[in-house]
Chain A
């Protein structure tokens, strides 16, 4: 809830991904419950064809085609030769999105550090499984700019690193993640629009955020869903947001827009806050499930390995 008192930014891969964790998640692979369920064979050898992976087509046979692909069932019924086009298996895209607004820089432990670690672990799983990995930060700035004091940003700005593949690119990914520093408010809708316009291919998108957007999360999530991506939302809350440890007469200041709320903490108020938080999360979950997205709510003190091995595996992000 409160802004993190002592901010420690990860500097290298070791700060994000310990060897213990690597050994635990080494056997995982990225999965998509929708698109790739029941995929059996044809391991990444054919050329890519067509834009859509969801459409299996037939076309008339022309000379020179591989006769193994002729659909004999149709020939038996229509007495004409049609070629059966198999669904081509393509390499899976893993797109990790991190909310780098100021609100992520809150809580003990820091929500942003948790997001960085989770994104790195997930990206590592994707890289080692030869998936195409992309990472995007919504809003925020760089550590260098933060150290230089230059924190002026555009709310809809995004930073990306794309098309990483293979274990060799682990350091590229970690360098990008380590360079991120949260700052300012963001416009989730604008950022989501940019991400949706620039992403390619099909795959799994994992969005790390607290989803506390004053202009609403609905428009942004609508942008991200579909277009070949299976979207997983990971809502990261700090323990202080779940159980506010505050008392007394306070003037609460929003770290993003400086909005003030003067409160006198009382038991009814805390009860009401918690009920509101639960309702907010439930609303978000309902919104996601209506659009075939999956929401996972975790606290920032959850161990990364249990996030991957337990939460994400149960929901089919990894297997």
Chain B
């Protein structure tokens, strides 16, 4: 049982009970007195009553009062409410955006005494919405509104299942905390529609019910709105938070690159974007391992605005709307590069400075402040520059491979036979080499049916248990498609490649729970008859597989072959040149998943805020953490053997991961006017338009109590005066 207003009840009791007792005392305290006759007194009483105004009414006033009291009590039992118009549906689904952009504080912070983030405003509005829901009646529980709460960024979670308990709903809303992740509406909508089930009506089969009312509280900056649509009977309401004019300067991209020819040359590329309406000067500050390593000033041009093209039908529809179409702003972009000489690994963070010193420093060209501080920082884990040790395992040697590897800045370059390779493995010296290039030969499957632990680039062979199925040698063919964005295939042109004897392979999906369940394979290039270049990885090995014979193609004479070989070796070997640190970068909202060396124990992960939590490594060394909520460096440390790029501190191995927003859509802080859902556009509501439902029954009950007391008073006056 919940007492909604214990204070008022207490006050009412404190007033009413003593008053009643006092009235009783008044009656009991009469003095007795003997008189010669009561004849004249009784007559006087009757005369007073008869001569009183409205004596006709007074004669029945007790009856009238009792009727009023009874009516009030009955009205109270009916539990009347003053209700607004918009809370129509019985089931409400409250979707609250908690993504990075909801950390924005709109408007001029100097003018606000208590600046609230968009999420705080959204939560407040959602609580107001909860207040307007109809409460369960004493006699008709089913007439109450129900609501559920879903919080989402790139993932969605149900914070509160359908309930009519407002305190539960409000507690769920209050518990929502902002994350640094991007926004995706799709999953939230999928979750919402899954809960908005149709109602089965008896004798009429499955009939969709009245539907739910979906309330989206957010700034509407979602890239995937076109992919979602509410149910046919659902009502979708978009409660916008934030202002459409809000501008923001953000780090849209950050990248660390080492030169191929000289891995000690490190470049940090910082991509910027600005959605401000005016030019804006910012300082980009680079910090390496906590120490400021450089500051560069950039002036961001204003965002370019384009008036949206309106079709004739739209014009017709908006004929009565006098508002001019709001221009669409495209963020301006800019960038800055920090080149440096650095061999060691580093934790590099980039920050935007000078965004808040509008008045003091006179740096700003616009008075508009940067509303979203979350995306003013980015983090990169730069692994140490290293030269790889590579061994070519070939039964009869391969001139092209040797020549290609000769040109790479390697620390070691050996050629060995399969027997020598087996010997190296048997002696446990496999760790001396970063990459084995297998030419026309693969080792026999080890205990788990796939390759021995290690990194491989395989030519002219198909390893067993690697997630690819050999379809046999076929005739000549050409590459028809390849993944140009993959680090291995970048800058490789496969158009001139002609394969004389193709060995097509097919990527087979691993069966869950079966042998090789943790083996995955990705097609990098494919011919008309199947995959021709595959990247495969298992529990403790990683390989780029070219299953056909190089000698039966024109590829060795193509410069692309050199580039491919260099990139493949660098990729599987954990890099030396090119883009680095990408494998240790995650986006908030995603799951941090990595593989530690086998036997890692006592694993902990430390968040940017310094909170440490234990992780349990699986038998193969896999650890999973997340979803990631905040941006910054995550430090995974463990005891046991270490990988080649891991560092040591205090007797523990450590590996760093950088969590970055780096989402240009999310960094566009202007809130949207409308949501373009797949089915229809939904205009934004800036304020909650629902009027509050006000429970009236306590007032009726209070009125009844007052009338009863008045009746008692009148009764006493009437009978005993």
Interface residues of A (CB under 8 A from B): 1-3, 102-104, 106-107, 111, 210, 212, 214, 238, 241, 246, 248-256, 259-264, 266, 268-269, 272-273, 275-277, 280
Contact = CB atoms under 8 A, between A and B. Distances in A.
A254 B34 CA distance: 6
Contacts of A269: 44-45, 48, 721
Nearest to A210: B36
B47 A272 contact: yes
Contacts of B31: 248-251
Contacts of A251: 30-33
A119 B98 CA distance: 109
Contacts, number: 98
Contact of B26 (A212, A249, A272): A249
11 contacts: A106-B35, A212-B37, A212-B39, A253-B34, A255-B35, A261-B45, A262-B720, A263-B41, A272-B44, A276-B44, A280-B40
Contacts of A262: 30, 719-720
Contacts of B29: 249
A-B pairs with lowest CB-CB distance, top 10: A103-B36, A106-B36, A212-B37, A262-B720, A272-B44, A251-B30, A261-B38, A273-B44, A254-B38, A3-B34
B719 to A, nearest CB: 7
B32 A253 contact: yes
A239 to B, nearest CB: 12
B45 A263 contact: yes
Interface string B14-46: 000000000000100111111111111111110
A269 B47 CA distance: 9
A255 B45 contact: no
Contact of A1 (B26, B30, B36): B36
A253 B39 CA distance: 11
A260 B36 contact: no
**Interface footprint category on B:** 20 to 34
A247 to B, nearest CB: 10
Contact of A238 (B26, B34, B36): B36
Contacts of B40: 212, 273, 276-277, 280
Contacts of B32: 250-251, 253
A260 B38 contact: yes
User: What DSSP secondary structure best describes chain B's contact surface?
Assistant: helix
Nearest to B40: A276
A215 to B, nearest CB: 11
A264 B43 contact: no
A214 B39 contact: yes
A102 B30 CA distance: 23
Contacts of B26: 249
B35 A2 contact: yes
A158 to B, nearest CB: 21
A260 B39 CA distance: 10
Contacts of A266: 721
Given A253-B35, A269-B721, A261 B41 contact: yes
Of A104, A106, A261, chain B has the most CB atoms within 10 Å of the CB of A261
Contacts of A3: 34-36
B33 A253 contact: yes
Nearest to A241: B36
Interface string B37-80: 11111111101100100000000000000000000000000000
A285 B350 CA distance: 118
Contacts of B33: 2, 246, 250-253
A276 B43 contact: yes
A275 B719 CA distance: 22
B671 to A, nearest CB: 71
Nearest to A271: B44
Contacts of A246: 33
Nearest to B43: A276
A77 to B, nearest CB: 60
B34 A2 contact: yes
Interface in B574-617: none
A214 B37 contact: yes
Given A252-B41, A273-B40, 11 more contacts: A2-B35, A212-B40, A249-B29, A249-B30, A250-B32, A261-B38, A261-B41, A262-B720, A268-B48, A272-B51, A275-B47
A272 B48 contact: yes
A263 B34 contact: no
A2 B31 CA distance: 13
Contacts of A102: 36
A248 B34 CA distance: 15
